[in-house]
Structure 1
């Protein structure tokens, strides 16, 4: 069939990209890159403090050493986003967990962002006004970390469809969406960093990405309905899309509200997953789903009434 080569191309491309980032050698390269970025960041900041950088480079180089930590945290978040897109293919529940993980890391990064504008060495008179915000961000990230521990324990892998061909087809669709999302994310990173460095605009890389993620979540939910229309699955996927939207809101709110919304999002996805696990379909829903499967395989259907 004509579509088979397309499927094979998508599958092969995704697997190559995933191996490049998620494989053992890829992880070592990422770790090495982050170390180099941190060391060069600290060195560049120190050279700028000494006035040893060319004017063009000095203009875009900070003078506070804490900004090197913010930089390497941001780079870590970029790779975490790529990991999120890989997980999107294998499990919607795990990919949502990764979204909340990234939010917790954003909260930790924002601590360094909050204090990166202070003078060195840090003095109490300057930092005293930030104690509440910093504490909220730190404890919010910690609570999210604890909630995620319970969330991942609730996940049990279930095939979307008993038909292996349908499941394989859905995975290919998700791989294509993931690849398109990677391209979109790289464009967002390039655009935001360019205008942030050279035009002084606020960097909104992750805010823009989560907006894109809301649409991809909805798209995957709609595609999943081609392989089954279970209310249980539809509610779970819709609820997860809402949690993505709330994470997007958390990224643009002040630190205190950001931490509160982050914890609320983590509790929401945990609640959705627990409710999903314990939801018991009615006899009507079970028969309806069974008839759908039997109709696909041309087996005798079940009557709903006696």
Structure 2
């Protein structure tokens, strides 16, 4: 039979192996993060988006003049606002990448990044509606897309304003934690971020393949937001293991619920999507205010003892 010493040695070897694995993964994450956040990469991405935007405008104009063969003309649109939609889609993809790389930093910062993306998605919806408007405007036929543009634009503005409030109140108050537990928690989040990056690439490549092959493409951001919901819940559960506590659990669970509201806003019909986006931001702010109020009260109670 295995002795206690042998059991402890085996468990210690397993622990060292897992630690080495997660540290290796974390090193890979740090390399990807340094590359993506580098100044050179940022300039190249910005340049690429400008080139795609101008190239899309040129291709659309050429198609309007009938310069493409029928096989290509069926794919290339004839409305110039599709180029704006393309540019905003690339900007959103860049923001999603930054969101995934933000996950290991803090939960509130990652949630704030999701609200940034929601605001951009609402703005993107405004530009998507522009393709349904006649040139020049025709009333009352154009009233429906105009009202949708107004709704999504105001929703994006309110979410942006509420985001500034959330950034101020959403930062968790510092609480003393076990150093080893915090280190293991950060390693786990970095491993999760790398997994999400891989899934991000696979979903994007598959959706692009669907578009090239002529099949119907799925809404990439809606699908990826669904994945983010499960990743947020996973982080909440892992945080409870490494950094236990009811108050932190309640705060993180509440913020995770706000991301569920964001996901519902993405699939809601016009007008309701903006309202649900604003409601999700308000909910996140109230969760953060309640957490800060509780922690302040507990700190005052400790000082009085």
Deviation track 1:100-156 (CA, whole Å, cap 9, x = no partner) reads: 110110000001111224444554454222222111101110001110111101143
In structure 1, distance between residues paired with 2:140 and 2:109: 43
| Equivalence map 1:41-52=2 (5 Å) | 41-52=56-67
CA contact (8 A) 1:196 1:203 kept: no
- Tell me the CA shift for residue 161 of structure 1: 5.6
2:93 matched residue in structure 1: 78
Specify the alignment match of 1:57 in structure 2. 72
Q: 5 Å matches for 1:247-262?
A: 247-262=262-277
Structure 1's 265 and 187: CA in aligned 2 closer, same or farther, altered over 3 A? same
How far residue 34 of structure 1 moved from its aligned partner, in angstroms, is 0.7
Which residue, out of 181, 195, 199, partners 1:166? Answer: 181
Report the CA distance between 1:175 and its aligned residue.
0.5
Give the equivalent residue in structure 1 for 2:206. 191
| Residue 175 of structure 1: aligned partner | 190
Q: Does 1:214 align with 2:233?
A: no
Please report how far the alpha carbon of residue 55 of structure 1 lies from its aligned counterpart in structure 2 after TM superposition: 3.2
Deviation string 1:178-220 (CA, Å, 9 cap, x unpaired) is 1111111222222223324533525310110011111101111
1:236 to 251, 275, 280: 251
Normalised to the residue count of structure 1, the TM-score between the two structures is 0.86
Match for residue 301 of structure 1? none
Return the offset for 1:280: 4.1
TM-score with structure 2 setting the length: 0.87
CA deviation vs aligned residue, 1:242-291 (integer Å, no higher than 9, x gap): 111111111111120000001001111111111111114998xx99xxxx
* Alignment gaps of 5+ in structure 1: 288-306
Look up the match of 2:151.
Answer: 136
2:53 is matched with 38
SS, match of residue 231 in structure 2? helix
Moved more, 180-189 or 32-41: 180-189
**SS across alignment from 1:61:** coil
Q: 1:63 to 1:198 in 2, by over 3 A?
A: farther
C-alpha separation between the residues in 2 aligned to 1:8 and 1:280? 33
Q: Hey, what does 2:103 align to over in structure 1?
A: 88
The reply on whether 1:146 has 2:198 as its aligned counterpart is: no
SS of aligned partner of 1:199: coil
**Distance in structure 2 (CA, Å) of the matches to 1:240 and 1:56:** 48
Per-residue deviation at 1:10? 1.0
Q: 1:270 aligns with which of 285, 300, 304?
A: 285
